[in-house]
Amino acid sequence: MPGEGSMMSANTSLKNNRRNRTSKLEKFVNTTTNDSIEFVDPNTATPEELAAIRQRMQEENKVIQKKKITLTFSILVVILITLAVLNCYL
């Protein structure tokens, strides 16, 4: 049959690509390990380490939430001021 050779080479290429790929865990470890943060495997973490991680994440989420509230409030104030100025001149 014509075209079988091209499919075989495509299958071989896919198999080779799959072999050359790094695992997801390996990529995760490589991207999160730096000088200040040490990778903690959640399967072997102690309860104290998990509590510290949970605490750090809660603090980060509070900071993000405060930024969102501040931004929303600022946008609302700008909109109200703009409407007030436009109302005076119209």
pLDDT, mean of residues 81-88: 94
pLDDT tens digit sequence for 11-54: 777 777 777 766 555 555 555 445 556 666 667 778 898 899 99
What 3-state class would DSSP assign to 2? coil
* Residue 39 CB contacts under 8 Å (≥ 6 apart), including other chains: 28, 29, 32, 33
Please state, rounded to an integer, the average pLDDT across all residues of the chain.
79
Q: How many residues does the chain have?
A: 90
